[in-house]
Structure 1
Amino acid sequence: MTEMVNRPRAAQQSEQTDWLVCRRCQGLLYRKRFDRFAGVCPECGWHSPMTAAERLAKLLDDGSAKPVEPRPAVHDPLTFTDLVPYATRLAKARSATGLDDAVQVAHGAVHGHSVVVVAMDFRFLGGSLGSAAGEAIATAAEAAIAHDSPLLLVTASGGARMQEGVLSLMQMAKTSNAMAELDEAGLLTITLVTDPTFGGVAASYATLSDIIVAEPGARMGFAGRRVIEQTIGQRLPEGFQTAEFLLSHGHVDDVRPRPELPRMLANLLSMTRPAGTGWGHSVTDPVLRDPGLLPEKPVDEVLRTARELARPTTLDHIDNWADGFVELHGDRRGSDCPAIVGGLGSLDGLPVMFIGHQKGHSTAELVKRQFGMPSPSGYRKAERLMRLAAKLRVPVVALVDTPGAHPGLEAEEQGQAAAIAECLRTMGGLPVPVVSVITGEGGSGGALALAVADRVLVSENGIYSVISPEGCAAILWRDPGAATRAAGALRVDAGSLLRLGIVDGVVPEPDGGAHRNPDAASDLVRRSVVAALRELRARPGNELVAARRARFRAFGLAGA
């Protein structure tokens, strides 16, 4: 029979049998099967609590974990007593858990990838953040820098340790400063949110990571549900503060079941390993740079082909090209726009940040994705991913296909213009290679926000314009039916864009357009992107920024 000391508290065990009872569905669980599912109920998906030791054992490769010991912290600095002296509480917690405090730190590997892991143990005074826990977090950050390794934080906490008073409060600043040092060192940080994560932990290091992943049903917030309901005198909705709620509101990047976490973490950790110097040399560049090689096409045909629903979308391209792609969600400000998607993936072995507009292949998908028209949160998500790419020193590949930024009352209330402007400024200053491809429609500033790049390419049947042809016709011709005439006058087609110098080259498409053979079309775009990155990635970041700014500085000058 398995020892009970490190078993999750919530799975009620019988000392006579190997059966457990699920706290959520009350179903009987066979212990060995429950363990194979990493403490997840196979019937209802409930994730049981885990100890810090269990977390480290489940996440790290066998035999790889080496403890990281923090410096000694103060013991009962206030000689605090409530119903029980704090010193007595500490002694009981240490006796019951076998731990010195609520945080354990280890340096190890996930699928062979080096990582420093912080694991919190809720059994120890509710995983509260006191001086010892704060020191452990800061020590973990220093260890990550020393080993040049990413930091993974596994959180489980009710908040600050009140018995240590203001010293507990100071740990929020200590740990936040430690996270800032990791940013300055360019090291990836990941938070795994487990149930519960509240108070000072949520309001400091837990939410400062580059990537935040949560277990299903895990709750995170500053104040707890009861406190909020008592304060505002209202009943909160079901699911409030759960992982799923946080994902829909843009506060976490993903929600993943526990058995999937090691593989997902391995994919993310692999993105910190640069490709070799010979990367991409076997790829033939298909890009056309001579406008004379492009066939003349009626502008109405170009418009129609650019908008074909069967053309590959951003997610189609990523699915065709990228290994280990992890989509990242949310602007971290309260929303996750479905019209822009992005995340980290490996392009032929090169870690890349993919960002792009997402439409769809059906009416239902178009509606769900806002017809590929981003709201301000979409641009803020894109900007967040751009900054992460700069920190990790990985190239950005942006795929543009949008009629334009989403118009409307809510978009204006949320600062649509400012969100686009921030994207333009951020992308222009990225010290990493940036390649943008207009794969379909490139509508106005909503498209340009993802196209301030070192290399700007357009698919053969793509279009790029200051305004939609329909909008231009309505304003200048006062006739929406004059869209074809407006499109011709605006020179929106690939050949015209190449002659004007707006794009650096044209990606050819299969006969009849990308929608006729999406896989072949996608491969042509992939090869074009690889060829561009192959040239750019050898250049220093400051040179990339200077050349990119000079490129856009020259547009509109006489003789340029």
Structure 2
Amino acid sequence: MAERLSARQAIAALTGATPAGAPVAFTELPAPNDTAAPDGPLGWPGYDESRARAARRTGEDESVVCGTARVGATEAVLISFEFGFLGGSLGERTGDRLEAVYTLARERRLPVVSLIATGGSRMQEGMRALLQLQRVARQSALTRAAGLPQIAVVRDPTTGGGWATLGAGADVVLALPGAQIGFAGSRVRPPDADPYAYTAEAQLTAGHIDAVVRPEALRDTVDHWLTLLTGGPGGGAVTAVDPPAALGHTEPPATGWDAVSLARDPERPRAEAYLDAYFTSREAVNGDRCGGVDPGTLCGFGVHDGRTVAYAAQCGTATLPAGYRTAARLIRLADRLGLPVLTLVDTPGAANDAEAERAGAGAAIADLFAAVATARVPVTSLLIGEGGSGGALALAAPGNTWATQDSYFSVIAPEPATAILKRPPEETRTTAAQLKLRPQDLLSLGVIRGIVPPAGS
């Protein structure tokens, strides 16, 4: 079991702590006026006494502590759950406080960081408690529409509606090691349920959270994320970024097959090399939030020339449906936050096996096409290797795609094109030439905007 922090200990872990252990420079939001009926809306016998005992035990008068503080250089709204107060459950008073603090975030244009540890909705308030999830979801949606980032730090345990709203609904989801995470709490799961499925580590593997962060690294990690996600122009125009400089072969390929061979060279620089050269620092987003992760698609945010840039990069493998969905999630988040996007195109094509079809390859590719097409922020693309058909084109920016000399883009790869045309295999090189897939061919056809030179040239 992960270490369980109190609400104020969790805040102190982000902001620093005084010698007495209290959070540094945390301004607590006053609690809304309390007009609750005795023993709550259901008249649940003993409910008021349960609350009083919880208050004596924790020093808190509700299951959330809300306010503002600086996390590193960024002022943020903080929401911290006190699990010791009736299991961090959500009741009407909790909803009142959450609505008030989200309203404050929008009024002051502040990002929201939620430090979550909750068992779900408060049974002693019945359906009135469950309805608070709708209030929370609405406040989160309004904050999202206002272009303000939301980061969730999932503590132990986080289950029920708190996970299904504040947690899983955040833009970036971080979790402490070993934290219990899941919609179903431990007492209501099937008796044969695999307990590992409800851990932070399992949720990371399934693409439902972005990272598992050690407690000692939490402050720096959240600080970095806040710096990245609030790095937009603040209402000004968002300008496109320049494509990265070429890192590999610098001479134009002589033939179509030469272009294909250069792109398939195992020694050719891949996405990781380009990202490392382009960004001074970066953080990754993980997974498609639908149960899938594609290790061949890297997405996240980084700092380039002092500004935040979102990136989605293919790594030269066949792209899985989860990769397309993760890239679409990344682009839509960048669009909401007003951050430019860089994409690196490098795939022989979309994965086309039976598992990919069951996972919705077509729908995932369609969704990425739509995300790129409707983005209000500028998208810059660089073709750094193979550009295999629609599986590559989905990540390419219309009118702002560039290429390296060791790349190719084709309606279909030469080998299947040869087979479809019922040509013998020895005519593959001829087919490659006819496809006009070399970078210089793409430029003359108006498919790309230009061929990038190497650094320093």
Aligned residue pairs: how many? Answer: 444
Which residue is 2:255 aligned to? 298
Q: Taking structure 1 as reference, are residues 92 and 156 closer, same or farther at Cα in structure 2, changes over 3 Å only?
A: same
Report matched runs for 1:261-340 at 5 Å.
261-271=218-228, 272-274=230-232, 295=252, 297-340=254-297
User: 1:471, 1:284 → 2: CA distance?
Assistant: 31
Q: 1:482 aligned to 420, 427, 444, which one?
A: 427
* 1:254 partnered with 2:215: no
Q: TM-score, normalised by structure 1?
A: 0.75
- Structure 1 gaps of 5+ residues are 1-23, 25-46, 288-292, 360-371, 510-522, 528-560
Q: 1:78 aligned to 36, 41, 47, which one?
A: 41
Counterpart code for 2:163: A
Q: 2:437 aligned to 473, 479, 492, which one?
A: 492
Which residue is 1:455 aligned to? 400
The 8 Å contact of residues 253 and 405 in structure 2, kept in 1 or not, is answered as no
Q: 2:30 aligned to 69, 92, 95, which one?
A: 69
Which residue is 1:385 aligned to? 330
* 1:153 partnered with 2:114: yes
The 8 Å contact of residues 61 and 108 in structure 1, kept in 2 or not, is answered as no
Which residue is 2:13 aligned to? 58
Taking only aligned residues, the RMSD between alpha carbons, in angstroms, comes to 2.5
* 1:182 partnered with 2:127: no
Q: Taking structure 1 as reference, are residues 238 and 222 closer, same or farther at Cα in structure 2, changes over 3 Å only?
A: closer
The 8 Å contact of residues 347 and 391 in structure 2, kept in 1 or not, is answered as yes
Which residue is 2:21 aligned to? none
Q: 2:156 aligned to 176, 180, 195, which one?
A: 195
Q: 1:376 aligned to 304, 321, 325, which one?
A: 321
Counterpart code for 1:341: L
Structure with the greater alpha carbon radius of gyration:
1
Q: Deviation of residue 58 (structure 1)?
A: 1.5
Q: 1:406 aligned to 351, 369, 380, which one?
A: 351
Q: Taking structure 1 as reference, are residues 97 and 183 closer, same or farther at Cα in structure 2, changes over 3 Å only?
A: same
Secondary structure of the structure 2 residue equivalent to 1:55: helix
Which residue is 2:305 aligned to? 348
- Structure 2 gaps of 5+ residues are 18-23
Which residue is 2:391 aligned to? 446
User: 2:374, 2:368 → 1: CA distance?
Assistant: 10
Q: Deviation of residue 304 (structure 1)?
A: 1.3
User: 2:252, 2:204 → 1: CA distance?
Assistant: 46
The 8 Å contact of residues 443 and 449 in structure 2, kept in 1 or not, is answered as yes
The 8 Å contact of residues 338 and 374 in structure 1, kept in 2 or not, is answered as no
Q: Identity over aligned residues, as a percent?
A: 33
Deviations 1:220-252, CA, capped at 9 Å, x for gaps: 11112442224xxxx223412101111111111
Counterpart code for 1:88: E
User: 2:161, 2:245 → 1: CA distance?
Assistant: 53
Secondary structure of the structure 1 residue equivalent to 2:440: helix
User: 1:429, 1:381 → 2: CA distance?
Assistant: 16
Stretch moving more, 497-506 or 268-277: 268-277
Secondary structure of the structure 2 residue equivalent to 1:240: helix
User: 2:5, 2:444 → 1: CA distance?
Assistant: 62
User: 1:450, 1:304 → 2: CA distance?
Assistant: 22
Counterpart code for 1:419: A
* 1:165 partnered with 2:126: yes
Which residue is 2:20 aligned to? none
Secondary structure of the structure 2 residue equivalent to 1:186: coil
Counterpart code for 1:81: W
The 8 Å contact of residues 294 and 495 in structure 1, kept in 2 or not, is answered as no
Q: Taking structure 1 as reference, are residues 316 and 74 closer, same or farther at Cα in structure 2, changes over 3 Å only?
A: farther
Counterpart code for 1:495: Q
Q: 2:82 aligned to 109, 121, 126, which one?
A: 121
Counterpart code for 1:466: V
Q: Taking structure 1 as reference, are residues 182 and 278 closer, same or farther at Cα in structure 2, changes over 3 Å only?
A: closer
User: 1:73, 1:210 → 2: CA distance?
Assistant: 32
Q: Deviation of residue 166 (structure 1)?
A: 1.3
Report matched runs for 1:355-374 at 5 Å.
355-359=312-316, 372-374=317-319
The 8 Å contact of residues 61 and 111 in structure 1, kept in 2 or not, is answered as no
Counterpart code for 2:318: M
Report matched runs for 1:412-451 at 5 Å.
412-451=357-396
User: 1:296, 1:125 → 2: CA distance?
Assistant: 68
RCO greater where, 1 or 2, for CA within 8 Å and sep 6 or more?
A: 2
Counterpart code for 2:41: L
Q: TM-score, normalised by structure 2?
A: 0.92
User: 1:374, 1:295 → 2: CA distance?
Assistant: 27
The 8 Å contact of residues 267 and 324 in structure 1, kept in 2 or not, is answered as no
Q: Taking structure 1 as reference, are residues 477 and 129 closer, same or farther at Cα in structure 2, changes over 3 Å only?
A: same
Counterpart code for 1:444: S
Deviations 1:448-472, CA, capped at 9 Å, x for gaps: 1100344110111210001111111
Q: Taking structure 1 as reference, are residues 453 and 347 closer, same or farther at Cα in structure 2, changes over 3 Å only?
A: farther
The 8 Å contact of residues 373 and 403 in structure 1, kept in 2 or not, is answered as yes
User: 1:259, 1:428 → 2: CA distance?
Assistant: 41
